Amino acid sequence: MKTRSPRLATRAIIVQDGRLLLVNAYPGGRSDLWCAPGGGVEPGHSLPENLAREIHEECGLRIAVGRLALVNEFHDPRSGFHQVDLFFRCTVTGGHLDPGWADPARVVHTRRFFAADEVAAIRLKPDSLPRVAFGAEGPAEYDPLEVIVT
């Protein structure tokens, strides 16, 4: 297996009215796994610029990017894929979740806000996200390397 550099991605922790924004990026109901919106970093753009672009593409929202809250990494031992996700606390500054919004890349197909009790009843990665999202702000946390799930 060829060694390659980890992929870097940014993700948004958006809690609005006590509910956390999550997305599903598995078309056709292939998986019931939810995650925070965001995606891969494009070289030449800052992490906040990348995150704002991704959130607009996936959700049609404009955001202000705040403090780093969580670093999570996962990998696929078979393929060598390794990703590091940087989760930032964000606030919505414009737009709203429109059911007719279409991700131009056709990756994210469902997006919605979940209350804390609803989050407890769904499959979500990383496991630490609800605790960080709904907990008190503090220093950024590290969620250790785990094997990828779908």
Triad 33, 37, 41: Cα angle to 5°: 120
| Domains, in order of start, for the chain | 7-145 (3.90.79.10)
**Phi and psi for 143 in degrees, rounded to 5?**
-105, 110
Identify the burial level of 77 via C-beta atoms within 10 angstroms of its C-beta, where 0-12 means exposed, 13-18 middle and 19 or more buried.
Answer: exposed
Q: What is the pLDDT of residue 100?
A: 87
Q: What is the pLDDT of residue 67?
A: 97
CA distances 2 to 55, 77, 78, 79, 81, Å, are 32, 11, 11, 9, 10
pLDDT values of the chain reduced to their tens digit, one per residue, 150 residues: 566 789 999 999 999 999 999 999 876 667 889 999 999 999 999 999 999 999 999 999 999 999 999 999 999 999 999 999 999 999 999 999 998 888 888 888 899 999 999 999 999 999 999 999 999 999 999 999 999 988
Please give the model's pTM, rounded to 2 decimal places: 0.94
Helices (H) and strands (E) in the chain, counts: 3, 9
Residue pair 77/96 in contact by the 8 Å Cβ criterion: no
Q: What is the pLDDT of residue 139?
A: 95
32-58 tens-digit pLDDT? 899 999 999 999 999 999 999 999 999
Residue pair 143/124 in contact by the 8 Å Cβ criterion: no
Q: What is the pLDDT of residue 87?
A: 98
Q: What is the pLDDT of residue 30?
A: 77
